[in-house]
Amino acid sequence: MGQDLWLFEKKSIDNGFSRIAGIDEAGRGPLAGPVVSAAVILPNYLHIPGISDSKKLTPKKRAYLYDKIYDRAISIGIGIVDPPEIDRINILQAALLSMAMASENLAPQPDCLLIDGIFKISSTLPQEPIPKGDARSISIAAASIIAKVTRDRLMERYHQDYPQFGFSKHKGYPTKAHKAAIREFGCCPIHRQTFKGVKEYL
């Protein structure tokens, strides 16, 4: 048996909380596109086989689990911060803002938050940051899958507007092909203008 992914949730339940939201973001590293966060409240002790850190899953498996989570979750909230705002406040602040937005978009609202990473977010709710939480908490792992699939689908949509950059393949991350496209075509409106690899070509 691997580690108990319900460990942090159980601790919260023991502390008297009943609606525990896991929160994670996707898209801190790309040169283009928004940063997207998801907040997920799962029914206590729900078993969905295969849920783990979205980075360890194939796109096909993520899509399958995305549907399963949407099917079974009590509540899911999404928060999206676009490139101009990322450039204005920096990527860390934008990620934390998108997490706070995701939490606020939950209905019903949670009574406590488990957050991937080391930082707290702007919220009056009790919250616990958990380093590498997407591999340690079932709720955060579920949120990581929702955030990643949501962002990937947004980038596939942007690909239709800016096909020359190949967003459907690399989702805005700094791959060789993406960097070559920026050198050739310059930047488009969804590029992050303060990022190294973009600002040199403005």
pLDDT tens digit sequence for 167-190: 999 999 999 999 999 999 999 999
Residue pair 106/146 in contact (Cβ under 8 Å)? The answer is no
Task: For residue 3, name the pLDDT band (cuts at 50, 70, 90).
Answer: confident
* pLDDT at residue 2, as a whole number: 59
Read off the amino acid at residue 198.
V
Per the rule left: phi > 0, alpha: psi between -120 and 50, beta: everything else, 48 is: beta
Fold of 7-201: Nucleotidyltransferase; domain 5 (3.30.420)
Whether the predicted pLDDT of 137 surpasses 70: yes
* pLDDT at residue 76, as a whole number: 98
SS (HEC) of the chain: CCCCCCHHHHHHHHCCCCCEEEEEEECCCCCECCEEEEEEECCCCCCCCCCCCHHHCCHHHHHHHHHHHHHHCCEEEEEEECHHHHHHHCHHHHHHHHHHHHHHCCCCCCCEEEEECCCCCCCCCCEEEECCHHHCCHHHHHHHHHHHHHHHHHHHHHHHHCHHHCHHHHCCCCCHHHHHHHHHHCCCCCECCCCCCCHHHC
Whether the predicted pLDDT of 108 surpasses 70: yes
Q: How far is it, in rounded angstroms, from Cα 134 to Cα 51?
A: 10
Whether the predicted pLDDT of 1 surpasses 60: no
* pLDDT at residue 112, as a whole number: 98
Q: Is the pTM of this model over 0.85?
A: yes
Whether the predicted pLDDT of 113 surpasses 90: yes
pLDDT tens digit sequence for 20-62: 999 999 999 999 999 999 999 999 999 999 998 788 899 999 9
Question: pLDDT averaged over the chain?
Answer: 96
